Structure 1
């Protein structure tokens, strides 16, 4: 499968403290740029055996550009039919913009829905505010009936994106439990804000929160009330006999296209160091080759006893963004990786 992420706009009705886009330009992706980016994706998909394409729409708040999304899906469907390509869609939304027209479009096109929500109202509103400084939790709750109907009609679970930051990490377990118990979501993806330095004390506390969530996950599973906590998928990789932790596939199996047509490996690094080219001129083959050869370079990671199964060193764009070196690494995530491996060794039999 080949994945293209289209940043359809840099416009948002929220002002989240940790947004990876930072200060937004208020640009909307021109349809011409989107189509050129998709053409690159189509050409790459045609080289893959399964001929499957995943199109991920993001913003800003992607649904602000709903008319553009409709046009793009129509174009993609036409092109995919000509090329015998199977297409899947996903969209990330802050959950504040929903109506019957949007719901029908999501359902009819079986768009996988990713909803950003950080936990309880108190936790969520701490970082996810409107431009007037008001928390957005209540806005999401006003639309909760749409999300319930979406799951009922599509038979697809909504994936909720829960961001762990330096002002909520001690509430990670409480947040996940709220999303599962109170809001009845079945897929929770907890991710860590890596744009700031973490202290050892903070990561130790977060490790304890991770363990609490893991025990909760195991208990729910044993009681026949299983939900998917996305970090479990990473933990399970530690149980594989051998994992090649080298090249992650940026440029070869996935690209991120910004509103201005710049092509990046993924959202983990949207700085100049993560740019692979643009939709007009195409890829920088030299850069992709450098990334691909990363696994063979002699660096600190290769000397580490967990290197073969490390998930952190595999994230080239994050490491490049952090260290500004192609063979660098993020020491915070390195430390937390060892925490996660400890959890796997302790609970692997129960995780299954």
Structure 2
């Protein structure tokens, strides 16, 4: 499979199966476009020369065809898919758990309009995780991690800082267990910043490998969607704290993470606002919501959102040339290394390698499934009991998803989010179409930025 597109003055050709990316001139681009992907080896040279010579000249077209043939011979263009045969029976793989999302608090001090957790309640009751439940969760992770040494634990909510003492106690317990079991815990934290203070920052800088700081961008955008329960905005309170925190972490190992909605389709302005506030690690992502919600992204929004991604990518190229870089999470792409083949095919590992834990100790495939009893996997006392659901997640990969098989982005998004697929199609092997379209656009922009950076070298 070959995917071609033009972006910011670059003609880009992606050979999906090999991962090879070619930045070409117009004539080569048009030559490749004329080759039938179903049988590239039998293209008609004379027909291509005849069709394009009036536009470019015969000699130039023939030279381009020779270059294309060289790429085909080198197996970096129109290559065959060898990964489908690589797929083992994922259901037979031993389950090794490597990461937990601890819902340390099913409660929140904000009332964000788009919150999938219903202001922290997750379709249930408000609750704080006890140290005992958290301890059992860490014990489960250690016991089910096999030979894997590096383990990940994310303190999540609601708002984790509403249960800060238990966070600290669980980190201390984890550090003790590292020595006993030859494991290494990588702790992370997601917070809205309301309760953030110097003591918490100091602890996080010592113990948290990454911190996610929730802010949506411009003041008017943020305060509309992330107010306190009585309606006041939270922007003015959190921005100085987040700026101080980012600097204390040397502008590394954190993200300011926002959400854009139907209300702010000009979201590139929010990303650039955060960059202008001094943040270097930025993630602003599309809301995922029921179509009936007034803030939900619609198909009609897509053209403007595509333009915004293009605008943002071009501005990042410009700032890179001026030495004023920042990272945008959705444009970060590793074209030379990146995830292993299994990870590219099967995604985040939700339901198998990665689990969410409720305050009372129930296991779910990830935080977005919490509260949906169909996906209740077990608990910290009994372990995984619902092995049918676990096995269903094991078999969830890009070749199990019909739409992924035909998509150029499949080895970059790894099939996308299982929760979004289920919520919009009723099947974890389905698709969330709007999310897919946005993902494909982000990948195109990310590759273009790499091409532009190569031009600067």
TM-score, normalization by structure 2: 0.69
Decide whether aligned partners of structure 1 residues 253 and 351 sit closer, same or farther in structure 2, where only a CA change above 3 A counts: farther
Greater relative contact order (Cα 8 A, min sep 6): structure 1 or 2?
Answer: 1
**What corresponds to 2:441 in structure 1?**
339
**SS at the partner of 2:152?**
strand
Larger gyration radius, structure 1 or structure 2: 2
Contact 2:348 2:354 in 1 (8 A): no
| Root mean square deviation of aligned Cα | 2.8
CA 89–295 in structure 1, closer or farther in 2 if over 3 Å, else same: closer
Cα distance between partner residues in 2 of 1:240 and 1:252:
17
Q: Does 2:129 correspond to 1:35?
A: no
Corresponding residue number in structure 1 for 2:286 = 192
Gaps spanning 5+ residues in structure 2: where? 1-96, 292-296
Alpha carbons of 1:132 and 1:260: their partners in 2 closer, same or farther (altered >3 Å)? Answer: same
Distance in 2 between the 1:226 and 1:247 partners? 28
Distance 1:45 1:233 in 2: 28
User: Where in structure 2 are the equivalents of 1:64-83 lying within 5 Å?
Assistant: 64-83=162-181
Tell me, in whole angstroms, the C-alpha distance in 2 between the residues paired with 1:334 and 1:17.
23
Deviates more, 1:278-287 or 1:72-81: 278-287
Aligned ranges for residues 1-352 of structure 1 at < 5 Å? 2-23=98-119, 24=121, 25-48=125-148, 51-144=149-242, 146-148=244-246, 150-152=248-250, 156-170=252-266, 172-181=267-276, 183-197=277-291, 198-233=297-332, 244-246=344-346, 248-270=348-370, 271-283=372-384, 284-295=386-397, 299-306=401-408, 308-309=410-411, 311=413, 313-343=415-445, 347-350=449-452
- 2-structure distance, mates of 1:113, 1:241: 25
Shift in CA distance, 77/331, structure 1 to aligned 2, threshold 3 Å:
same
Do 2:347 and 2:414's aligned partners in 1 also have CA atoms closer than 8 Å? no
C-alpha distance in structure 1 between counterparts of 2:312 and 2:337, whole Å: 18
Change beyond 3 A, Cα 1:314–1:237: farther
Provide the aligned length of Structure 1 versus Structure 2. Answer: 346
Q: Which segment drifts farther, 310-319 or 119-128?
A: 310-319
Alignment check: 8 A CA contact 2:397 2:414 kept: no
SS of 1:105's equivalent in the other structure is: helix
> Closer, same or farther in 2 for the Cα pair 1:88/1:244, shift >3 Å?
closer
Q: Which segments of 5 or more consecutive residues in structure 1 lack a partner in the other structure?
A: none
3-state SS in 1 of match to 2:153 = strand
Normalising to structure 1: TM-score of the pair?
0.88
**Stretch of structure 1 that moved more, 22-31 or 236-245:** 236-245
Shift of 1:273: 4.1
8 Å CA contact 2:103, 2:157 repeated in 1: yes
- Conserved 8 A contact 2:398-2:415: no
Superposition deviation, residue 239 in structure 1: 10
Deviates more, 1:120-129 or 1:295-304: 295-304
Conserved 8 A contact 1:157-1:186: no
> Aligned partners of 1:310, 1:110: CA distance in 2, in Å?
27
